[in-house]
């Protein structure tokens, strides 16, 4: 503390040893965190001057004990940091403390900043370790003197060593920081400037930053490639230039990884031996078994008397003799703050070569000598005024023999001094000076050189030949008289040392698929996956261009990325996948933007980016849509489907036809021509158009658009009038020709209605059957065919309401006709309409169209499924099942079903059940229910209700399994087949011809329905033609059978009307012969007992038993034989019984007829005498009146006789 505070004189005064000598303060700028005792030399030098030891000042006064009496030097230390700007702060502080001059600073970077500020403050600075040649610029650093040689001088020494040994090639390894980097530049400049000796250097710099120091991983990554470059050129002379801070670490790295570099064939030179710290390097070489024998080192200074005296003084000191500023405590050394030598080591001279003691002593001596000289020249000058220009000029005049040799400042205010070229002459680190270099002279040998050879250490007169030995990967080339190992060029290699060392040796070119990007290699590298080499001698594997890849190594061509992948950067071994549901627009895609949604997907939510950064999300096209190609913004609409965009995405609806909804790839034109694009499923024509099958036709102009409606209404009214007169003919158990004709027409109507059900199935009909099915919809009260849309704009609700009102309107019209007949018929002299017949006409129409009634009523229940999970009404696809609109239709459908489907059927069923009894109790019951019973045999009077069950089941088919055409077809086949079997079993119709006709129609319907199942699938070509032919043949056969029956019935009616015989004579004789045997058969049977009859019955076959049962049933129902033997005629078809017996006179017959028929008995009554065995009389009333008077008038004598 006293040392630093300047209190030594005060303490000395208190001790009684006060000196009258003035104090001369010398600033010191350095750092202790470097090599050992960096400031030791400064304190040792001040001590030597103050005590007169080592070398005394000229013209100075010394006391008897050697103490300088002219003045006493006092060191004012200040440690600088690594910041260059800290140099300015040093000078400022020294100036404020009154220092006359500054010794330092330690580093060139800090010194430059301090010297710049020193020029402004006129503060003389004496350099002892800053070696940057830039400090020789006296325009910038005019108050800076330097007693250490600039790096250019050391470089000159090293070049002269190379020249002296006759070497023409060397490697230089240096650290890219501090003086070492500059040293390399000076050597390389001298290489160019020297003309007296040709030599070539190969230079490689190491990263010396703190990030690398102490980090073995980074050292391997950054240092090894640099050193490998030098190793590869074959040079055997290595110049190693390292700052002290890196010396041990770099050498350890070299010794460990490259021990062969320190064998007999290599020589090493260290640019600044002062940094080697021989003691530590000796320990390192011993630890790693490295022999540096023959290695050179360069150090400034010489073996002068001053240096020997200074070194002796150094060895007498201990750590305790130095100030706290200079001394390094064990704790500080352990923390890495400084380097410490123990007292024993100091006593042996350790550290004397590494503390810059020589230039520090010469600097302190020059400063003190200049002060002595100034005081002698100007005795009255105050010592405090000795500074600035006065001090600088005096110091520049000095010349003396110092510790570094001759001290003499040149024009740049530098002192080169003397260099000693050291060589290791005894292992491991026995340095001796073998050359001396003086700034004014050249390299002078001092002792023989020592080198390594294969036999051991040998002293020779000259340096051995260290010409390059080319290694594999090189070739020896003579360049301007210099043999140099040049590395094989990239794209080639060599792997033979002998061949490589032969001048002009050639390197081998790399084969295609291999390359060598580096020079000086022993082999070529196979191109890794993702790169190729197309030609021989490729210096590097070319990365596969963007859009290509190569997954295999050692290839010469790249491949385009397949669809769905891309390669955005060169060098892809595998192309990147676009991701799920994405594909590229083309093979060889290079950008991620080339990835688009794959076929079957479309780009949804474009404002959102997916996981790879692409705009939009690939949404799978909904079921039923058609996304054939990639890069779609919307799903495509196939024919027969309708796409609609909603908040939840695209919805797909199935249309009823491929004509109504056309294929659309851009969802712009979704509907067929003239259809409303905004109506769901294109279910409605545009305004001004009406539905024609699957097309929309333009409405006729003017009033002609209403003509179809008017025409149909008129035809409808006319048909109702005709129906009244046709359906109210007399009831007879004998099927007349007229009956056969009318019933055949009814069968045809039923068949057509059954065919219209096929149009309601989920079967896609093709032309021409689609047109036929469209026409058949007229029987389902489809008003679209009447061009109603051209007259009034209708909604699905209105159209359905119009359909279900048709049957009710029919009833209302009949009631109106009935009322109108009361007034009109008398005027035209025609019978007025009777109410029972009017009701019968209503029932006839409803029963004839019962399939249609049921179909219309069930329309709201007939839904078909869409691909999106919703369903629509088959007839009105724009109505979604379950929606509010559908609810309204359901209400109407339920009412219509209850009235038409269930109500009418229940009424008919009840009428059939009570007919046998009610026909006798109610006079007009038979006429009311005529439409139920008049077509069937007496014992099958109930068949009308069975036909209604069949009709209702047929109408139910379209609403069962609405989206499964195959299931619908199977269900319809089952219904038809079951009722066909029952039909064949009971034969309900009055004539065999009608039974055959109905059976044939049912068979043809089965064929048509069976073939229709084919159309539930996509059938094309010859198969379609075959199935079409089958349906056509079935239709033709069906209509041919019905037409034949109708023709036969019409012919019979004509014969009767014309009075022709209904049966020819031959048939009449054959019938009489067969009937003549009947009485005999009855007599035989009458004689048999019941047991015998049962025996005979059991011996018959099943079919014969059935015939017998049918005969008995017919006799029981058609003829009733009383116990008294009287013959009774029965008319079960009318459910009225008339019994006449022998002895009844005309009056009795008239009374019985009147009581039974009340004038309206519409039946044919036959009276036979069973006992007479023949027919006595036949009375027929064809007018339908059953009037007794009419019968009496016609046959009065016969009845009287009976």
For residue 1195, pLDDT over 60 is answered with no
For residue 783, pLDDT over 70 is answered with no
pLDDT digits (tens, 9 = 90+) for 806-847: 888 888 998 998 888 888 888 888 888 888 888 888 888 888
At residue 1180, what are phi and psi to the nearest 5 degrees? -130, 135
The answer to whether 654 touches 640, Cβ cutoff 8 Å, is: yes
Q: Which has more pLDDT, 223 or 266?
A: 223
Whole-number pLDDT of residue 424: 82
Whole-number pLDDT of residue 702: 57
Among 117-126, 597-606, 746-755, 1192-1201, the least confident range: 1192-1201
Q: How many CB atoms lie within 10 A of CB 562?
A: 14
Whole-number pLDDT of residue 13: 36
| Average pLDDT taken over every residue of the chain | 77
Among 158-162, 322-326, 585-589, 1124-1128, the least confident range: 1124-1128
Whole-number pLDDT of residue 1139: 55
- Alpha helices (runs of H) in 859-991, residue ranges in sequence order: 884-896, 904-921, 925-928, 930-933, 943-956, 965-986
Map residue 780 onto helix, strand or coil.
helix
Whole-number pLDDT of residue 774: 60
* Cα dihedral sign, 1117-1120-1121-1123: positive
Q: How many CB atoms lie within 10 A of CB 684?
A: 24
Among 443-447, 553-557, 1036-1040, 1186-1190, the least confident range: 1186-1190
pLDDT digits (tens, 9 = 90+) for 456-510: 454 444 566 676 777 788 887 777 666 777 778 889 988 876 665 566 667 888 9
pLDDT digits (tens, 9 = 90+) for 707-745: 767 777 888 888 888 888 877 766 554 445 556 667 777
Measure the CA–CA gap between 488 and 506, rounded to whole angstroms: 8
Q: Which has more pLDDT, 122 or 215?
A: 122
* Whether residue 428 has a cis bond before it, omega within 30° of 0: yes
Sequence-ordered list of residues with C-beta below 8 angstroms from that of 1154, at least 6 positions apart, any chain: 1188
Whole-number pLDDT of residue 123: 93
pLDDT digits (tens, 9 = 90+) for 44-92: 999 999 999 999 999 999 999 999 999 999 999 888 776 767 788 888 8
Sequence-ordered list of residues with C-beta below 8 angstroms from that of 738, at least 6 positions apart, any chain: 729, 1049, 1052, 1053, 1056
pTM: 0.48
Mean pLDDT, residues 768-793:
62
Map residue 1163 onto helix, strand or coil.
coil
**To which H or E segment does residue 789 belong?**
helix 788-791
In sequence order, the β-bridge partners of residue 624 are none
When mean pLDDT is compared over 874-888, 1112-1126, 1127-1141, the highest value belongs to 874-888
For residue 1118, pLDDT over 50 is answered with yes
Cα–Cα separations (whole angstroms), residue 102 to 77, 83, 548: 9, 18, 69
pLDDT digits (tens, 9 = 90+) for 204-262: 888 888 788 888 888 888 889 988 888 877 778 888 888 777 888 888 888 888 888 88
**Token digits of residue 720:** 């109702």
In sequence order, the β-bridge partners of residue 548 are 560
Q: Which has more pLDDT, 182 or 398?
A: 398
For residue 684, pLDDT over 70 is answered with yes
DSSP of 1020-1076: -THHHHHHHHHHHHHHHHHHHHHHHHHHHHHHHHHHHHHT--SS-HHHHHHHHHHHT
DSSP of 383-412: GGG--HHHHHHHHHT-EEEETTEEEE--TT
For residue 1155, pLDDT over 80 is answered with no
Looking at residue 1088, the DSSP 8-state letter turns out to be: S
């Amino acid at each position: 503390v006293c040392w630093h505070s300047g209190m030594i004189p005060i303490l000395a005064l208190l001790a009684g040893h006060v000196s009258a000598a003035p104090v001369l303060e010398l600033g010191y700028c350095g750092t202790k965190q470097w090599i050992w005792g960096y400031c030791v030399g400064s304190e040792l030098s001040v001590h030597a001057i103050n005590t007169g030891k080592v070398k005394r000042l000229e013209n100075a006064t010394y006391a008897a004990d050697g103490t300088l009496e002219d003045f006493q030097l006092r060191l004012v230390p200040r440690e600088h940091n690594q910041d260059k700007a800290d140099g300015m702060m040093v000078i400022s502080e020294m100036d404020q403390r009154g220092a006359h001059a500054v010794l330092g600073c330690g580093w060139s970077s800090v010194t430059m900043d301090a010297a710049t500020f020193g020029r402004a403050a006129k503060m003389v600075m004496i350099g002892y370790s800053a070696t940057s040649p830039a400090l020789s610029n006296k325009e910038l650093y005019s108050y800076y003197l330097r007693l250490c040689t600039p790096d250019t001088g050391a470089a000159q020494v090293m070049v002269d060593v190379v020249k002296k040994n006759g070497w023409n090639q060397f490697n230089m390894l240096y650290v890219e920081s501090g003086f070492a980097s500059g040293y390399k530049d000076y050597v390389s400049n001298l290489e160019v400037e020297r003309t007296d000796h040709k030599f070539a250097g190969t230079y490689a710099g190491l990263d010396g930053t703190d990030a690398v120091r102490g980090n073995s991983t980074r050292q391997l990554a950054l240092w090894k490639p640099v050193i490998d470059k030098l190793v590869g050129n074959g040079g055997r002379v290595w110049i190693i230039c390292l700052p002290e801070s890196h010396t041990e670490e770099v050498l350890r790295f070299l010794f460990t990884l490259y021990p062969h570099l320190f064998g007999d064939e290599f020589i090493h030179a260290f640019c600044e031996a002062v940094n080697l710290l021989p003691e530590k390097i000796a320990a390192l070489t011993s630890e790693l078994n490295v022999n540096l024998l023959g290695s050179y080192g360069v150090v400034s200074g010489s073996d002068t008397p001053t240096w020997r005296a200074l070194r002796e003084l150094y060895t007498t000191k201990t750590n305790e003799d130095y100030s706290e500023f200079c001394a390094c405590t064990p704790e500080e050394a352990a923390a890495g703050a400084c380097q410490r030598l123990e007292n024993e080591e100091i006593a042996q001279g350790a550290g004397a070569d590494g503390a810059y003691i020589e230039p520090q002593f010469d600097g302190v001596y020059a400063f003190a000598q200049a002060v002595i000289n100034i005081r002698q020249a100007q005795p009255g000058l105050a010592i405090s005024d000795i500074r600035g220009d006065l001090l600088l000029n005096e110091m520049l005049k000095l010349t003396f023999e110092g510790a570094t040799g001759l001290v003499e400042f040149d024009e740049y205010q530098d002192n080169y001094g003397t260099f000693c070229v050291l060589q290791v002459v005894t292992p491991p680190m026995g340095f001796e000076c073998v050359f001396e270099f003086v700034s004014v002279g050249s390299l002078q040998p001092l002792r023989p050189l020592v080198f390594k050879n294969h036999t051991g250490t040998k002293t020779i007169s000259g340096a051995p030949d260290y010409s390059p030995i080319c290694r594999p990967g090189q070739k020896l080339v003579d360049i301007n008289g210099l043999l140099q190992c040049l590395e094989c060029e990239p794209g080639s290699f060599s792997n033979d040392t002998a061949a490589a060392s032969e001048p002009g040796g050639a390197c081998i070119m790399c084969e295609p698929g291999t390359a060598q990007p580096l020079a000086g290699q022993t082999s070529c590298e196979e191109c890794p996956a993702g790169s190729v080499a197309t030609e021989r001698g490729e210096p590097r594997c070319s990365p596969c261009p963007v859009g290509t890849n190569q997954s295999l190594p050692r290839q010469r061509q790249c491949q385009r990325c397949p669809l769905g992948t891309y390669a955005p950067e060169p060098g892809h071994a595998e192309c990147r996948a676009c991701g799920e549901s994405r594909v590229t627009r083309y093979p060889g895609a290079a950008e991620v933007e080339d990835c688009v949604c794959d076929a079957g997907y479309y780009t949804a939510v474009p404002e959102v980016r997916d996981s790879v950064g692409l705009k939009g999300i690939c949404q799978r096209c909904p079921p039923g849509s058609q996304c054939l190609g990639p890069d779609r913004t919307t799903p495509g609409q196939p024919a027969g489907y309708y796409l609609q965009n909603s908040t939840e995405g695209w919805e797909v609806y199935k249309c009823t036809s491929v004509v109504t909804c056309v294929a659309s790839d851009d969802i712009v034109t979704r509907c067929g021509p003239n259809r409303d694009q905004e109506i769901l499923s294109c279910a409605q024509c545009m305004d001004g158009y009406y539905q024609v099958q699957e097309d929309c036709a333009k409405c006729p102009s003017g009033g002609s658009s209403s003509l179809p409606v008017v025409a149909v209404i008129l035809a409808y009214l006319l048909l109702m009038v005709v129906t009244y007169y046709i359906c109210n003919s007399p009831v007879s158990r004998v099927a007349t020709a007229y009956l056969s004709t009318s019933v055949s027409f009814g069968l045809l109507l039923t068949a057509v209605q059954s065919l219209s059900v096929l149009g309601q199935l989920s079967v896609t009909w093709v032309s021409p059957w689609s047109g036929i099915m469209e026409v058949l919809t007229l029987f389902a009260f489809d008003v679209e065919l009447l061009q109603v849309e051209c007259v009034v704009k209708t909604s699905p609700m209105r159209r359905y309401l119009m359909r279900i009102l048709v049957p009710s309107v029919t009833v209302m019209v009949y009631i109106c006709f009935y009322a109108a007949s009361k007034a009109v018929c008398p005027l035209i002299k025609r019978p007025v309409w009777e109410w029972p017949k009017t009701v019968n006409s209503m029932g006839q129409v409803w029963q004839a169209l019962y399939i249609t009634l049921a179909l219309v009523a069930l329309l709201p229940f007939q839904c078909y499924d869409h691909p999106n999970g919703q369903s629509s009404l088959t007839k009105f696809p724009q109505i979604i099942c379950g929606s509010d609109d559908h609810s309204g239709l359901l209400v109407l459908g339920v009412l219509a079903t209850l009235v038409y489907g269930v109500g009418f059927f229940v009424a008919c069923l009840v009428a059939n059940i009570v007919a046998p009894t009610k026909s006798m109790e109610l006079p007009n019951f038979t006429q009311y229910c005529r439409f139920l019973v008049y077509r069937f045999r007496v014992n099958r009077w109930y068949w009308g209700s069975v036909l209604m069950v069949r009709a209702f089941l047929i109408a139910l088919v379209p609403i069962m399994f609405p989206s499964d055409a195959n299931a619908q077809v199977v269900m319809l086949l089952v219904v038809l087949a079951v009722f066909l079997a029952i039909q064949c079993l009971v034969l309900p119709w009055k004539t065999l011809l009608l039974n055959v006709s109905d059976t044939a129609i049912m068979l043809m319907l089965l064929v048509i329905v069976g073939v229709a199942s084919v159309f539930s699938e996509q059938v094309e070509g010859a198969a379609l033609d075959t199935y079409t032919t089958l349906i056509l043949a079935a239709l033709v056969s069906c209509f041919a059978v019905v037409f034949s029956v109708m023709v036969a019935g019409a012919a019979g009616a004509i014969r009767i009307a014309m009075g022709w015989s209904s049966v020819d004579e031959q048939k009449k004789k054959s019938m009489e012969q067969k009937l003549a045997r009947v009485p005999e058969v009855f007599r035989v049977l009458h004689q048999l007992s019941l047991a015998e009859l049962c025996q005979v019955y059991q011996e018959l076959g099943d079919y014969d038993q059935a015939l017998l049962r049918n005969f008995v049933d017919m006799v029981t129902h058609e003829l009733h034989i009383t116990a008294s033997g009287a013959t009774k005629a029965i008319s079960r078809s009318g459910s009225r019984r008339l019994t006449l017996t022998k002895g009844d006179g005309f009056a009795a017959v008239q009374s019985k007829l009147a009581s039974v028929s009340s004038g309206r008995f519409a039946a044919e009554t036959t009276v036979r005498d069973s006992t007479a065995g023949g027919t006595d009389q036949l009375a027929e009333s064809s007018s339908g009146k059953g009037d007794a008077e009419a019968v009496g008038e016609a046959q009065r004598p016969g009845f009287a006789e009976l």
